[in-house]
Structure 1
């Protein structure tokens, strides 16, 4: 009998060969919302926010990028909302991912747009129920599988 993880990995591979799971998509194309496979792990990488909901996120001059780091060793999430730093717990099991509760510093955002982005980003993190990784992009999904935020790998390999 195969260990559970190996059996699941084989089942996913066979489904892909049978055409049940799309192998790839055109650059920039959205794939159906499905959780990440067991071999796609977002931990130990630094991610920077590039989309929030349907809107691209731009960082202005002198602004800090909104970012996320998941530390598998400690089970802690940390990063920046653009103005303030945050930290909290996370839990990942297969393609399921939950973050929070999150605690953030309370420094004022001098740019009101950056403050709104930060508020929405922190809310998206706490609403995350699953994730998908495609290439160097991490998509955080809500419980219904709708994208909340897209982050791009910032870690240099």
Structure 2
């Protein structure tokens, strides 16, 4: 009887210890996957708020790139080159001050101004497949991008 009780105790302890071993952190895996989708590719603007952006051969397409190694963002607002810093988490995106060139752009429908205003509202991101959505703190999409090169 004592041997059976001891055997059950040893087996129970072994199961308990095995069950308490650390497992890979699922949240860390999700964050790494989200960051890999966000970073190291060029994102082409398709939408500002609810307005679809059509690109044409005579207008520059607003773009963003997130460099993982330097934590810097770069791109174009459709008129000027932009650059700045960023910090990204699992789904959060904090943009540092964004600097830009100051070229005069005519007949671009104020896309550059709308783009920069929306970019300033960014608080989160959703990246999946070939789509990137930047959202404000309330979850509203402020900018949407694709990683597919637009046909001009």
Q: Deviations over 1:109-145 (max 9, x none)?
A: 11140xx111111122221111112321000010011
Structure with higher Rg: it is 2
Of 90, 98, 102, 1:102 maps to: 98
Question: Which residue number corresponds to residue 23 of structure 1?
Answer: none
- Partners in 1 of 2:73 and 2:148 — Cα distance? 16
RMSD: 1.9
Report which of the two has the higher share of helix. 2
Question: Which residue number corresponds to residue 86 of structure 1?
Answer: 82
- Partners in 2 of 1:2 and 1:128 — Cα distance? 35
- Give the TM-score normalised by the residue count of structure 2: 0.76
Q: Deviations over 1:45-67 (max 9, x none)?
A: 10000000000001233211100
Q: 1:9 to 1:91 in 2, by over 3 A?
A: closer
List alignment gaps of at least 5 residues for structure 2.
Answer: 1-20
Q: Deviations over 1:22-50 (max 9, x none)?
A: xxxxxxxxxxxxxxx41122010100000
Contact 1:101–1:126 (CA under 8 A) maintained in structure 2: no
- Partners in 2 of 1:124 and 1:145 — Cα distance? 13
SS at match of 1:106: coil
Q: CA deviation at 1:97?
A: 0.5
Question: Which residue number corresponds to residue 147 of structure 1?
Answer: 141
